[in-house]
């Protein structure tokens, strides 16, 4: 069986994650664990495996030195599937026109398999590592690392109890993109050096209820949606944060004019640049905290006035901002007539250095393996990963992407017809092998 067949076999496991744990079929999780035990025997022989929190996995390959270890993260759970929109069976791992179609092909079982293929291949070649190599695989990332039973959090707590700190931790979240939106004529590789914070805020209006046939001048639901609308009508202030500054400093040499000139002197032209960036949702999200209405609730009957009307604001917080600051600004803007309750809040991560050995090594290896790139740059990741919890336990936390085909197929993540190009999968294995040799050192 070759690497492609192993990828197909593992993608066929239905390791679907749900917030309602009783909905999870843990037999499929056991099937995944058994498959990697069967197909990566040298990894299990050299590292052993610890099961944490039931289904998360920790592998440790001891190195020859006392240098700080390197942590390689991943998760093998996937989001649910609406099979009606798929052209191929979502867990069939069907090969069609040089692609493998399956839920998890990109996010992120394909990434995990490429990582396991890389380390197994190096061990098969007789390689020994200078630095300890940790592989931490979570089983419930898709439902959030803040959940009480988070596998990633349980692994972290175990490692803290053992006094383990890392030179760097690597996880999903990098990207290959068309650089046109950033003024670059060519493909840009992005390394995630930070993540935005996350916050849900519930705004509630409490009014007298009653029959909808005799409504008041303003209903509770009207008032609460108007209040929440103030947050969308007037966005939070935009500015360059440390992560976006580092990104543009890396991009400037590869930019075309006139953007090259403008971003070289970005502090002088900041009002113009921020005005342009905030016109596009993707670039706007990198320079400001966002707040958007996602859910609303009122009464439970169509002819009854709501007594308690609620709207949820989902906020993503840039470095330099905080949960407390965002909640305070919302309260000040909408006034005291409403109840404002923060839910599920966590602050943005720190911004990892782009000057240390780890980042420079990742940058160099990306350029070596993906030779058709225009430029490599750090960036602020807008979504969330389990790696955010390691920023206080590592000198740097970096989010990387092994599959060049994500440049075209990123819209399939969490969507219909998720796929990875076969050639890109093999290139991803080579990328991980090269990067492991450079970061962990081999003898």
Same domain? 275 vs 334: yes
pLDDT at 114: 98
Residue 210, pLDDT score:
83
Rounded to 5°, angle at Cα 51 from 48 and 54:
165
- Pair (167, 38) in one structural domain: yes
The residue assigned the tokens 């053992």 is 162
Q: pLDDT at position 41, please? A: 97
275 plus 418 within the same structural domain:
no
pLDDT of 145 strictly over 80? no
pLDDT at 144: 77
The answer as to whether 222 is a domain residue is yes
Residues 78 and 160 in one domain: yes
Over residues 358-382, mean pLDDT: 96
- Indicate whether 52 and 162 sit together in one domain: yes
Tell whether the model's pLDDT for residue 265 goes beyond 90.
yes
Answer yes or no: do 436 and 340 share one domain.
no
Does residue 318 share a domain with residue 232? yes
Are 340 and 277 part of one and the same domain?
A: yes
The span from the CA of 95 to the CA of 142, in Å, is 25
Look at residue 182 and tell me if it is in a domain: no
Residue 284 lies in a domain: yes
Q: 165 and 18: one domain?
A: yes
| 61-97 pLDDT, tens digit each | 999 999 999 999 999 999 999 878 999 999 999 999 9
Residue 371 — pLDDT band, cuts 50, 70, 90?
confident
Mean pLDDT of the chain: 95
In whole angstroms, what is the distance from residue 124 CA to residue 131 CA?
A: 18
Residues paired with residue 206 on neighbouring β-strands, in sequence order: 308
Domain for residue 378, yes or no? no
pLDDT score recorded for residue 97? 96
Residue 377 within any structural domain of the chain:
no
In a domain, 180, yes or no: no
pLDDT tens digits for 211-220? 888 888 889 8
pLDDT in tens, 300-311: 999 999 899 999
Domain count along the chain = 2
pLDDT at 23: 94
Domain coverage including residue 307: 195-346
User: 208: pLDDT confidence band, cut at 50, 70 and 90?
Assistant: confident
337 inside domain: yes
CATH number at residue 252: 3.30.70.360
Residue 209: band (very low, low, confident or very high) from pLDDT cuts 50, 70, 90: confident
| Local confidence band at 323 (pLDDT 50, 70, 90 cut-offs) | very high
* Burial class (CB within 10 angstroms; exposed 0-12, middle 13-18, buried 19+) of 282: exposed
Percent of the chain with pLDDT over 90: 88
Q: At what angle do helices 109-124 and 422-440 cross, to 10 degrees?
A: 60
In DSSP terms, which residues pair with 420 in a beta bridge?
A: 100
Provide the β-strand partners of residue 317: 197
- Spatial CA neighbour of 243 closest among 201, 205, 285, 271: 285
Domain boundary (290, 322, 346) is at: 346
Tell me what the mean pLDDT of segment 111-123 comes to. 98
Predicted local distance difference test score (pLDDT) of residue 215:
86
392-402 average pLDDT score? 97
Assess whether 317 and 242 both reside in one domain: yes
pLDDT at 382 over 80: yes
CATH of the domain at 392: 3.40.630.10
pLDDT at 212: 86
Q: Which of 346, 374, 403 finishes a domain? A: 346
Give the H/E segment covering residue 341: strand 339-346
19 and 168 part of one domain: yes
Q: Note the pLDDT tens digit of each residue in 269-304.
A: 999 999 999 999 989 999 999 999 999 999 899 999
The pLDDT value given to residue 148: 84
Q: State mean pLDDT over 95-120.
A: 97
Residue 186 pLDDT exceeds 90: yes
Spell out a b/e string for 142-152, using b for 16 or more CB atoms within 10 Å of the CB, else e. bbbbeeeebbb
DSSP class of residue 255 equals: B
Q: What is the dihedral of CA 120, 126, 129, 130, to 10 degrees?
A: -170
Q: What is the DSSP letter of 130?
A: S
The reply to whether 217 and 165 lie within a common domain is: no
Give the end of a domain, one of 330, 346, 362.
346
Residue 125 within any structural domain of the chain: yes
Give me 81's structure tokens: 């599937």
């Amino acid at each position: 069986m070759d690497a492609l067949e192993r990828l197909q076999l593992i993608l066929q496991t239905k390791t679907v994650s749900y917030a309602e744990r009783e909905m999870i079929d843990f037999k499929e999780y056991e099937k995944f664990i058994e498959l990697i035990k069967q197909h990566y025997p040298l990894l299990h022989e050299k590292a052993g495996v610890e099961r944490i929190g039931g289904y998360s996995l920790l592998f440790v390959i001891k190195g020859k030195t006392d240098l700080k270890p390197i942590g390689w993260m991943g998760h093998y759970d996937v989001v649910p599937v609406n099979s009606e929109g798929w052209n191929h069976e979502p867990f069939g791992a069907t090969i069609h026109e040089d692609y493998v179609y399956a839920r998890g092909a990109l996010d992120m079982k394909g990434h995990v398999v490429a990582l396991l293929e890389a380390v197994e291949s190096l061990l098969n070649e007789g390689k020994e590592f200078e630095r300890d190599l940790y592989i931490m695989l979570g089983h419930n990332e898709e439902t959030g690392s803040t959940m009480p039973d988070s596998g990633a959090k349980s692994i972290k707590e175990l490692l803290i109890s053992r006094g383990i700190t890392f030179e760097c931790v690597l996880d999903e979240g990098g990207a290959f993109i068309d650089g046109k939106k950033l003024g670059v004529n060519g493909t840009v590789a992005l390394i995630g050096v930070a993540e935005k914070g996350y916050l849900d805020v519930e705004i509630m209006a409490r009014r007298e209820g009653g029959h909808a046939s005799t409504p008041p001048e303003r209903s509770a639901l009207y008032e609460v949606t108007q209040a929440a609308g103030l947050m969308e009508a007037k966005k939070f202030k935009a500015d360059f944060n440390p992560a976006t500054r580092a990104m543009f400093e890396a991009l400037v040499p590869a930019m075309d004019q006139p953007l090259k000139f403008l971003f070289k002197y970005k502090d002088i032209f900041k009002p113009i640049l921020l005005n342009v960036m905030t016109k596009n949702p993707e670039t706007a999200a990198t320079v400001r905290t966002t707040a958007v209405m996602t859910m609303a609730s009122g009464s439970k009957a169509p002819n009854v006035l709501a007594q308690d009307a609620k709207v949820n604001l989902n906020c993503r917080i840039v470095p330099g901002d905080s949960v407390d600051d965002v909640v305070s600004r919302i309260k000040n803007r909408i006034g005291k007539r409403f109840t404002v309750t923060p839910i599920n809040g966590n602050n943005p991560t720190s911004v990892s250095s782009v000057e240390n050995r780890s980042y420079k090594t990742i940058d160099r290896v990306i350029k070596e393996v993906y030779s058709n790139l225009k430029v490599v740059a750090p960036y602020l990741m807008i979504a969330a990963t389990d790696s955010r919890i390691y920023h206080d336990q590592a000198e740097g936390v970096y989010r990387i992407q092994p599959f060049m085909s994500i440049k075209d197929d990123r819209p399939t993540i969490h969507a219909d017809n998720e796929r990875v190009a076969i050639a890109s999968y093999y290139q991803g294995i080579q990328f991980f092998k090269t990067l492991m040799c450079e970061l962990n050192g081999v003898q």
